[in-house]
């Protein structure tokens, strides 16, 4: 039987990526992701919410991309695979393990609120077409 290890998640970064380098110089970025789920209980008519926190590791050019474009609060889409890390805790020798997503593709869906451009209304230059008038601007240019 074949196995499939594929993860597709989207959520908000819980912290800025922390970047380290392997001994060969490959960048490795790690950050947390909060994935929110909201649903309505049909019996009680109440809304419920749960948040799942996931650790994400990106390597190579995707790590560089994460470092440049992901900040705490950024909404991202990650495709990758699950990876189980296992280790013995120093001093106590207790066995620990952590499941994380080893991301292979990262897409930024939005910027954190503080980095978004201001939506202040500025006076419009009558010579500059608006988003709703591109066809008029093209016709006027002909």
For residue range 18-69, list pLDDT tens digits in order. Answer: 999 999 999 999 999 999 999 999 999 999 999 999 999 999 999 999 999 9
Strands 95-110 and 46-59: parallel
Residue carrying structure tokens 């500059």: 128
Instruction: Report domain extents, the chain.
Output: 7-115
- Report if pTM > 0.75: no
Question: Across residues 117-129, what is the average pLDDT?
Answer: 48
Q: Which CATH class is domain 7-115?
A: mainly beta
**Which pLDDT does position 115 carry in this prediction?**
55
Output the CA–CA distances (angstroms, integers) from residue 25 to 22, 29, 61, 64, 73, in the order listed: 5, 13, 12, 12, 28
**Which pLDDT does position 1 carry in this prediction?**
79
CB 97 within 8 A of CB 85: yes
d(CA 44, CA 40): 8
Q: In the structure encoding, which two tokens stand for residue 99, read together? A: 């499941």
């Amino acid at each position: 039987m074949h196995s499939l290890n594929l993860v597709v998640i989207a959520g908000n970064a819980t912290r800025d990526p922390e970047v380290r380098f392997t001994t060969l110089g490959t960048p490795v970025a790690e950050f947390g992701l909060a994935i929110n789920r909201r649903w309505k209980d049909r019996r009680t008519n109440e809304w419920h919410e749960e948040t799942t926190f996931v650790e994400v590791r990106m390597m190579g050019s995707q790590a560089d991309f994460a470092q440049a474009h992901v900040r705490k609060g950024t909404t991202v889409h990650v495709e990758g695979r699950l990876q189980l890390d296992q280790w013995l805790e120093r001093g106590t020798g207790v066995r620990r393990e952590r499941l994380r997503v080893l991301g292979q593709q990262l897409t930024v869906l939005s910027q954190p609120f503080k980095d978004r451009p201001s939506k202040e209304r500025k006076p419009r230059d009558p010579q500059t077409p608006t988003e709703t008038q591109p066809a008029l601007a093209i016709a006027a240019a002909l």
